[in-house]
Structure 1
Amino acid sequence: MTELLTSEQMRAVEQSAINSGRITGLELMECAGRGVVDAILLKWPELACRGDSDPDPHDGLGQSTPKALILCGPGNNGGDGFVVARLLMERRWDVAVWTLAVPTKASPDALTAYSAWVASGGVQQDWAQIQDQAAPDLVVDALFGTGLTRPVPTVVADVFRHLRDVWGTAALRDNRRLRRVAVDMPSGVSSDTGDILRPSQDPHLTLPEDQPGIMDWAFQADLTVSFHTAKLGHYLESGPSLSGRLVRVPLPKVQDCDSPADRPVSVEGHVRLVEPVVFGRPVAPVLHFRALQKASGHKFDHGHALILSGPPGQGGAARMAARAALRIGAGLVTVGCPRRGVPEHASHLNAIMVRGLDGTHGLAELLEDPRYSAVCLGPGLGLGPSTGELVKAALLARRGTVLDADALSRFQRTPEGLFDMLHDSCVLTPHAGEFSRLFPDLADRLQASATTGPQYSKVDATRAAAARAGCVVLFKGPVTVIAAPDGQCSLNAAVYERATPWLATAGAGDVLAGMITGLLARGHAPMRAAEAGAWLHVETARVFGPGLIAEDLPETLPRVFRELGL
């Protein structure tokens, strides 16, 4: 799996490469700048044709040569921008550069890049000159990149507003495109949390009418070029929507130095992407299924999943979870329900068995059978007093256990009582509302204003929740964060090329709970079951497409398995 880095981890990786003597800071800057230019020309090849060919005033594109504006900051991100400006000028582009700070106060490597740009004929312009000109074809944000921990200066927010309100509007009116590129990270976005960094969000504070709005504090990119690997902020909160398309530029000599044995930062701090959504077709986290499949296997070799249901009229969620557990490979699946609910379930189910239970005592008796290898509680279970007792009985049996929906909300007043009963074979699958009920202090920190670093992210909150609960926590959302008590953490992203907005449909979470339960029943470790279940959940939605309802998810699994060669 691809690792996602924080800004501190990325700085440490780069510094390690420089200290090794394999590459200099200036060489890194040149490599980054060339990578940005290559990515621009790959995404918009029409600009490459215009820049490299002889000017043609009749090309129908409005200009004979492409025009670019490069926004450069005072640090190494600005140095990357000067390299981009120089390389575009070498391709005969019309390039304007605006600098936030006096270039002579830039970092040493950035100053060298600035000097090379000036030597190639570059002339710095002030914003008053630039803003009165017609909109360029391309704007490159090389202001701050990663590591920003405070809001951008107001003058930068004003520039961003001009890009959107003046140039963006004019481009739409004239049927032209204003292409926007961010170098490493859209400026104004925390590379660790994905939050837009902005001034105080006190609701009682009255801001002047000319004060920039929230979206003015961050650059909106169509293309973001990340170096070495993606950063956490590219996937969290506002990061995906502000990054546009995300591409990665490898830094070969940095890659050579970034081995697990030589990392200068703790491995426990790293976060994995369950399925890279940008860097090409990966090996899915489900390919190890083959190791668990036996040609001569019996159905009990693949486990027996028990899905508990609530009273009659509320059984649909449990049935969807049961169907998902069966489709994902559990050898047997049983729906356990109050005896008066048996007719309802029996009229809907065929391959899935139904078992009437006499409350908590009946569940405890059923789980005396060691062949039940996993149990799911929550979907449609209800919030009555019996729910808490059923959860307790299931946890005492110490099977692989998924707690979702009502099984979590039932403990909103006494979360510590739930945590005391949990064990390391459990997986909790809260959405944002359920997470805030179980971990209100962590949710409050997560919702706090992002003004200065260090920032508190969904990754931090999920890791803290897993440590407190003593089991795997899967915090659902467009980007689902999965964490284990030992600090392992991964992201399953339904963004960029894997965006599946149609997955926001009733019952989808119940299906996910069933998928994870089926994987636990088959013998997968909780962290691996949660990762594989979350990935397959998104993949089935992606393969099915718009028009999806929750019942379609389990039925799409066979097609996904075939495409994976399973």
Structure 2
Amino acid sequence: MEILATDDTAVCDRLAVDSGIEIQQLMEAAGAAAADAIRTRWAPRPVLVLAGPGNNGGDGLVAARLLREAGWPVRVVLFAARKTLGPDAEIALSRWSGPLETAEPVDLDAAGPAPELVIDALFGAGLSRPIAGLLADWIASIGERGVPVVSVDIPSGLHGDARPLDGPHLTAALTVTFHRKKLVHLIEPFAGSCGEVICRDIGIPGGWTDLVSPLAYEVLAPAWRACMASSGADLHKHARGRVAVFSGGSQSSGAARLAAAAALRAGAGVVTLCAPPSALMVNAAHLTAVMLARCGGADEVSDRLMGLRAQAAVMGPAMGVGEHSRELVLAGLEAGISLVLDADALTSFEDDPDALIGRLHGQCVLTPHAGEFSRLFGTGEANWNKVEQAQAAADRCGCTVLLKGPATVVASPGQTPWINRHASRWLATAGSGDVLAGIIAAGLAAGMEPHEAAAGAAWIHGDAALRLGAGLTAEDLPDALPDVLQGLQRRRRQAAVHSHLLAHGS
């Protein structure tokens, strides 16, 4: 699903107008979408609508009218002189026959029952300056009261393109946006203030994709390369891909086993754990379907990968920070195969990032969390959002960068970034990133391009966590992957049946 810049949403609105759709029609559709979302989530209760001077305020006025017609007690506070309203917002106001209050002074209970729900229709995504003065007082008062807020488009005080405005803003329980989401709905720390985000169609006509380019895409359920070639009479384990995972020493081998188990569960046909002599016995005691091979140092990496005919490898999970890991990584890069670099494989280069960056190639995937990212790439330019940071890093490295977090960003040179929020907060647990690295490696070994493998793996990893729920540990995640893949297969079959019915008019 495309993620649009704020300016480009205005382009889509203009296309609608040029196509003969009046702004008032779009406003009615937006207000109806907000009212419907509210009615499906809350029983009737006193509502306070904060209406700004522009079209966002008009959307709120439409929602207010529709809720009142449905029997809800609704009050409107107008934050503008009537003569300053835009023509479409003025039409929406003329259709409102309920209580209308001025914005001064700040008193949530001034003219009716205490509000139990606030509709925020003050400012849309185009706000470019911090909120101050009376509006800031209202925002503070609502925050202190703790009343649930429903924001129209975005919470007022935030910027649609995820730029910090350094002023107060509302925090929504629900945000109803239209046509396509914006970065603010997906990127932290802003997305946390949006609450649940739903996006509704309001009638933008086709052809808008010829006029604008998305800033990013939101990762939806991936095909995962037809579930890793799950059918075919001639299918065998080697056709499904061969992955090597490099282990740390005897007291730090668990992370690599997590990555190896994940690669196997995600669809790789053969997975081998390459361990130093000190860790051979401890790994042997834990492994069954995962193979085990000795790899004592950097001078053995190339021969080991060649002997295993590995198509992808994972380096970094608990491998150790220091010169030994640097040498292993550089040897892995020399082998020229697809390589997932995580954790210690990245931190080992924090004192000399260019020694790593200068050797990376297009089949690499780096999977840093925020701390590892800053060690390699610094904090970047002021006001960068996470998407821009990841894209700049990918362009500098010439390979795919997966920047982990509540919103995981996948960026590659010359490609539009992907953002994954299909995940669970319970993934914030030791070892979950090792599992993700293994899933990516399985995709790479199956022949996926790094951008596709990383984005698909992020969704699959998140879906496994959502299925497990509260209390999951990283050890649980690999065993949840078969259910995820089977779910993807069911989606494919259902989509195929649907397409067949459409094609045959049934």
- What residue identity is the alignment partner of 1:532? G
Alignment counterpart, residue 54 of structure 2, candidates 75, 78, 101: 75
Name the stretch that deviates more: 129-138 or 465-474.
129-138
Aligned to 2:123: 144
Q: Tell me which residue corresponds to 2:498.
A: none
CA contact (8 A) 1:141 1:181 kept: yes
What is the Cα deviation at residue 549 of structure 1? 1.1
**Structure 1's 531 and 188: CA in aligned 2 closer, same or farther, altered over 3 A?**
same
Residue equivalent to 2:197: 246
Match of 2:173 in 1: 222
> What is the TM-score with the length of structure 2 in the denominator?
0.91
Q: Percent identity?
A: 42
What is aligned with 1:510?
Answer: 434
- 1:291 Cα deviation (Å)? 4.5
Aligned-partner residue type, residue 493 of structure 1: R
- How do 1:269-418 residues align onto structure 2 when only pairs under 5 Å count? 269-275=214-220, 283-286=221-224, 288-289=226-227, 291=229, 293-369=231-307, 371-418=309-356
Q: Once the 2 structures are TM-superposed, how far is the Cα of residue 235 of structure 1 from its aligned partner?
A: 1.4
User: RMSD across aligned C-alpha pairs, in angstroms?
Assistant: 2.1
How far apart are 1:255 and its partner, in Å?
4.4
Give the CA deviation at 1:553: 0.6
Deviation at 1:332, TM superposition (A): 0.8
1:544 aligned residue (455, 458, 468): 468
Please say which of residues 181-190 and 146-155 is displaced more in the overlay.
Answer: 146-155
Q: How many residues align?
A: 488
* Aligned counterparts of 1:340 and 1:130: Cα–Cα separation in 2: 70
Contact 1:13-1:257 at 8 Å conserved across structures: no
* Mapped contact 1:3–1:229 kept (Cα < 8 A): yes
- In 2: Cα distance, 1:272 partner to 1:291 partner: 25
Shift of the 419–40 alpha-carbon distance from structure 1 to 2, 3 Å rule, reads same
Q: CA deviation at 1:191?
A: 1.7
Q: 1:293 to 1:519 in 2, by over 3 A?
A: farther
Q: CA deviation at 1:129?
A: 7.5
DSSP 3-state at the match of 1:488: coil
Residue aligning to 2:390: 462
Distance 1:288 1:36 in 2: 37
Q: What residue number does 1:15 align with?
A: 14
* Superposition pairs of residues 512-527 of structure 1, within 5 angstroms: 512-527=436-451
* Structure 1 residues 94 and 354, CA gap change in structure 2 (3 angstroms): closer
TM-score (norm 1): 0.82
Q: Equivalents in 2 of 1:419, 1:164: separation in Å? A: 46
CA 121–391 in structure 1, closer or farther in 2 if over 3 Å, else same: closer
Partner of residue 479 from structure 2, selected from 555, 558, 561: 555
- SS of 1:288 mapped into structure 2: helix
| 1:103-145 deviation line (CA, Å, top 9, x unaligned) | 311223223322333xx46534343374343422331110002
User: The residue matched to 2:118 in structure 1 has which SS?
Assistant: strand
Q: For structure 2, which runs of at least 5 residues remain unmatched after alignment? A: 491-506
Matches within 5 A, 1:526-541: 526-541=450-465
- The yes-or-no answer on 1:154 pairing with 2:122 is no
Question: In the aligned structure 1, how far is the partner of 2:283 from the partner of 2:71?
Answer: 71
In 2, Cα distance between the equivalents of 1:126 and 1:523? 60
What's the offset of the Cα at 1:86? 3.0
User: Is 1:197 matched up with 2:165?
Assistant: yes
Secondary structure in 1 matching 2:306: coil
Structure 1 residue 164: Cα displacement: 2.8
- In 2, Cα distance between equivalents of 1:550 and 1:123: 54
Instruction: Answer yes or no: is the 8 Å Cα contact 2:109–2:115 preserved in 1.
Output: no
The residue type equivalent to 2:402 in the other structure is: L
What's the offset of the Cα at 1:539? 1.0
User: Which residue in 1 is equivalent to 2:77?
Assistant: 98
Q: Deviations over 1:271-307 (max 9, x none)?
A: 11112xxxxxxx4442622646433212111121111
Aligned AA for 1:145? Answer: G
Corresponding residue of 1:61: none
Q: Is the 8 A contact 1:285 1:531 kept in 2?
A: no
Counterparts of 1:123 and 1:552, CA distance in 2: 55
In the other structure, the counterpart of 1:6 is: 5
Counterpart in the other structure of 1:256: 206
Deviation of 1:318 after TM superposition, in Å, equals 0.8
Letter in 2 for 1:111: E
What is the distance in 2 between the residues matched to 1:255 and 1:413? 52
The amino acid that maps onto 1:467 is D
Could you tell which deviates more after superposition, 90-99 or 521-530?
Answer: 90-99
Q: How big is the shift at 1:508?
A: 0.8
Q: 1:103 to 1:196 in 2, by over 3 A?
A: farther
Specify which of 470, 479, 483 is matched with residue 411 of structure 2.
483
For residues 34 and 294 of structure 2, what CA distance do their matches in structure 1 show?
63
Q: Note the C-alpha offset of 1:561.
A: 2.3
Q: How far apart in 1 are the matches of 2:449 and 2:15?
A: 35
Q: Is the 8 A contact 2:464 2:480 kept in 1?
A: yes
Please give the alpha-carbon distance, in whole angstroms, between the structure 1 residues aligned to 2:87 and 2:283: 71
Deviation at 1:463, TM superposition (A): 0.8
After superposition, the Cα gap between the structure-2 partners of 1:347 and 1:71, relative to the gap in structure 1 and judged at 3 Å, is same
Amino acid across the alignment from 2:83: T
SS in 2 for 1:236: coil
Preserved contact between residue 86 and residue 122 of structure 1 (Cα < 8 Å): no
Q: Report SS of the residue matched to 2:100.
A: coil
CA distance in 1 between counterparts of 2:230 and 2:334 reads 27
Contact 1:274 1:285 in 2 (8 A): no
Distance in 2 of aligned mates of 1:290 and 1:533 = 12
